[in-house]
Structure 1
Amino acid sequence: MLRTISLSLFLILVSSCEKDEVLSPAFYACDDSLSNSLHPNSEQYSNLIQNIVNSGVPGMMLSVHDNENGYWSKAFGFADLASKIPLASCNITRVGSTVKTFTAVTILLLQEEGLLDIDDPITDYLSNADIRGLENASQSSIRQLLLHSSGIYNYIQNPQFQTASLNDLIKIWQPEELMSYARNKDSYFPPGTDVLYSNTNYILLGMIIEKVTGKAFFEVFKTKIFVPLGLSYTQFAATDPVPDGIIRGYVDLYSNLNLTNATYYSGWDYFTADGGLISNSYDLAIFMTQLFQGNLLSKESLNEMMSWKAPKGGYGDGFETFYGLGIFLIETAYGPAYLHSGDAVGYFASMVYFPEQEITISWAVNGNYGKVDEFTQSKEAMEKIFDTVLAE
């Protein structure tokens, strides 16, 4: 999930917390046989994670795939600081908005089945009650939701939502409660004229999936993606919001690496298709590899997914970035890369595919905000990871 909540407000509300519970190693036990220690670059990849964790990151898992050597995964640091449980690459974690790529793939698969057309107006599938008060919704197409080109207001940016969320950090939000913070708000631009990230788009896409299938959107994910790809570590939060075995998440409130446990905070995406995915770097690597090597969508659908559009406002001080359908293209020193990242309070994950090298890199950490972000999700941190994997 794209972070827009004020860190200063968050800091005030969670500056005091109860002592962490202590859990047994059995709580986090899983089949940790993913490392592929025979990979020729295993040592340098391991050193990379170790160095990042030694900077003060609670724990990090990294997965890499190339066609010659297959999958490699490793983790260092802790799954649980209070219990001193080492992190394993098979552990599960929150991966936030990486789910948007799963949502987009599901919509494109439904199009392949003839159940919808992404150029249809969303009013063909959603009722007036569904879209009431959402400026631009009645003029927007499914494609524009996927591309973030609808201009529909992002509910997370509403200061009233941020205050309500932070005043009750363990509240479990229902979809309509979230949507209420986008209703009766001005749109950002007319549909199709620009691109701007909005989580509201992906709540609506989840609703469309449910309308055309008659099933919960996350059950459709399971049937069409999780099971066919063998993503055995992947589930959706709606079925179990804080499942046994999920690693603890931490926030660096004061940018001094004095971490606060945030595992149970901010359950606003447990029932919507804009976040809420639980997985690990290994399953994310499988998903990205199979997707962009043509083993999930048809060639035509994959080409539609990669119909890139540049934001008129530029891309800030990060990578040059272009929007696709549930995916982004970034320009790197190693050529183009297809990327989606995800943020939840206490967690961050990113999945990247380099088409010229046919290499996938994914990583997940159980910490964010403050200095943790500098080491794990800044442009400089990402370049360090890319250099380690891709440099000759």
Structure 2
Amino acid sequence: MRSRTITTIATGGLLLAMVGLSACTGQPAPAPTSTSSDVPSDAAESPTMGPIDEAALTALFEQKAAEYGQPGAVMLLRSPAGEITATYGVTSPGGSTPVSVDDHIRIGSNTKTWTGTVILQLVQEGRIALDDPVSTYRPDVPNGDDITIEQLLMMRSGLANYTETYELNAGLDADPQRVWQPEELLAMGLALPPDFAPGEGYHYSNTNTVLLGLIAEQLDGKPLAQIYQDRLFTPLGLTETSFPALDDSSLPAPYSDGYYWWTNVGTLGSSKLPPDLLAGAEDGSFSPTDGTLDNPSWAWSAGAGISTAGDLADWVEALGGKGGTLLSPELQQERLDSAVPTDPDDPSSAAYGWNIARFGAFYGHSGELPGYNSFMGYDPTDDATLVVWANLAPAANGQGPAAEIAKALIMSLY
């Protein structure tokens, strides 16, 4: 995820390595903070949720939030036994306003699941095909005759990640309120040498999802925000979920502030703070930066979305197939089956598919923008939903706090 911004996105994308991937939005995909090897292989293959001890689960959540130095965090768990929610801390470092389950946050790369779903709906309508070459819709894309729509969804196009560039990260540091246009984001990615030939590898690249967002607008003839609203938010009743205009850096009330360490350029090589700053973060002599109202337009269709824990839970349940309202049963199953190991030589590596991740028994994604990290997952076998978010991201040690908290909770539950 390279830069904080990159890190964000990448994390999003592969963060749940926890079980497998991280999912965020701002940065390029860094190496996962944890791997599926953290989960016993038998549990990863056929996990079954055990009895839920609410007090113990809440205590573990609070312990991990403190361990990762979070000012505030939220947990929501749904199962056939009911719903459990828990909150930890406050909306800002040293503040006094408690976080709330109803707080709005920036969800980073979880936004990618919206974009992928819209594309699949267009596939279902016969307006685009997964094996269509990208050049059909964007003749300006290098290797576009050989890159398919499916490869964009799978992060296997070879297109380089624009959020890993010095240009973007320096621009974000210089002017956090800058309004970035989707076309200039795409241009940054297309100007870089490809990472590999189409279909010959895997690299979590936000360029893929920005390109898909532009294609969705082209085909549907509407702004992306309206497409999301018409196709996803309204049908599912996601009244607390939104996709801001490019020049809108506000958050709906109530919301949690979001903080991050150091600068985007400073963390371009690694999200982990260097030793001197890490020591300062630990002893309180070095303070994080408030990124709450930084403009998220640089993430656009790859990570600029806003939501709440409750709406994320509703969304990831629909994403995982509960209720069957987004895609046909056949296409939905194909989407779940599309999540395959990102390393063909390691079956236990993170699994990624058509803008959907699989970690253990859960399908979903994770997301990160400077200041916010979130995880959402749905287990269709046990009908269990888990959402976690945290408001100081990445953590000083470079990890995605919400994803790491979620990993600990899942290990406990299963």
TM-score by length of 1: 0.79
Give the alignment partner of residue 94 of structure 1, picking from 86, 91, 106. Answer: 106
Bigger Cα displacement from structure 2, 366-375 vs 349-358: 366-375
After superposition, residues 34-45 of structure 1 pair within 5 angstroms as 41-45=53-57
Bigger Cα displacement from structure 2, 234-243 vs 283-292: 234-243
Query: Retained in 2: the 8 A contact 1:137–1:152?
Result: no
Give the alignment partner of residue 365 of structure 1, picking from 390, 402, 406. Answer: 390
Write out per-residue CA displacement over residues 188-246 of structure 1, whole angstroms, 9 at most, x where no aligned residue: 11212222111011111111111111111221111111111121211112274312423
Q: How many residue pairs align between the two structures?
A: 343
Aligned equivalent of 1:342: 367
Query: Retained in 2: the 8 A contact 1:311–1:323?
Result: yes
Is 1:286 the equivalent of 2:294? Answer: no
- The letter of the residue matching 2:334 is E
- The letter of the residue matching 1:285 is A
Report the Cα offset of residue 168 of structure 1.
Answer: 2.3
Write out per-residue CA displacement over residues 263-321 of structure 1, whole angstroms, 9 at most, x where no aligned residue: 13353436x211101012221111111232252321221122122333347679xx721
Aligned equivalent of 2:149: 142
Aligned equivalent of 1:112: 124
Query: Retained in 2: the 8 A contact 1:65–1:289?
Result: no
Query: Retained in 2: the 8 A contact 1:93–1:278?
Result: yes
After superposition, residues 232-381 of structure 1 pair within 5 angstroms as 232-238=239-245, 240-245=248-253, 246-253=255-262, 254-255=277-278, 256=281, 258-265=287-294, 267-269=296-298, 272-292=300-320, 293-295=322-324, 296-306=326-336, 307-312=338-343, 320-330=349-359, 332=360, 336-371=361-396, 374=399, 376-377=401-402, 381=405
Q: Supply the distance in 2 between the matched residues of 1:266 and 1:288 (Cα, whole angstroms).
A: 25
Q: Supply the distance in 2 between the matched residues of 1:198 and 1:291 (Cα, whole angstroms).
A: 21
Query: Retained in 2: the 8 A contact 1:136–1:152?
Result: no
Structure 1 portions without partners, runs of 5+: 8-38
After superposition, residues 176-215 of structure 1 pair within 5 angstroms as 176-215=183-222
Q: Determine helix, strand or coil for the equivalent of 1:136.
A: coil
Query: Retained in 1: the 8 A contact 2:249–2:294?
Result: no
Q: Supply the distance in 1 between the matched residues of 2:346 and 2:295 (Cα, whole angstroms).
A: 28
Q: Determine helix, strand or coil for the equivalent of 2:90.
A: strand
Report the Cα offset of residue 40 of structure 1.
Answer: 6.9
Query: Retained in 1: the 8 A contact 2:101–2:308?
Result: yes
Bigger Cα displacement from structure 2, 275-284 vs 76-85: 76-85
- The letter of the residue matching 1:354 is D
Kindly indicate whether structure 1 or structure 2 has the higher relative contact order, using CA contacts under 8 Å at least 6 residues apart. 2
Q: Determine helix, strand or coil for the equivalent of 1:169.
A: coil
RMSD between superposed Cα atoms in Å: 2.7
Q: Determine helix, strand or coil for the equivalent of 1:61.
A: strand
Q: 1:241 to 1:314 in 2, by over 3 A?
A: farther
Identity %: 28
Give the alignment partner of residue 170 of structure 1, picking from 155, 158, 177. Answer: 177
Structure 2 portions without partners, runs of 5+: 6-50, 263-276
Q: Supply the distance in 2 between the matched residues of 1:138 and 1:247 (Cα, whole angstroms).
A: 44
Q: Determine helix, strand or coil for the equivalent of 1:325.
A: coil
Aligned equivalent of 2:47: none
Report the Cα offset of residue 373 of structure 1.
Answer: 5.4
Is 1:57 the equivalent of 2:70? Answer: yes
Q: 1:209 to 1:313 in 2, by over 3 A?
A: same
Q: 1:375 to 1:165 in 2, by over 3 A?
A: closer
Write out per-residue CA displacement over residues 142-201 of structure 1, whole angstroms, 9 at most, x where no aligned residue: 111111111111111222322232222332211122222113321111212222111011
Query: Retained in 1: the 8 A contact 2:340–2:351?
Result: yes
Query: Retained in 2: the 8 A contact 1:178–1:268?
Result: no
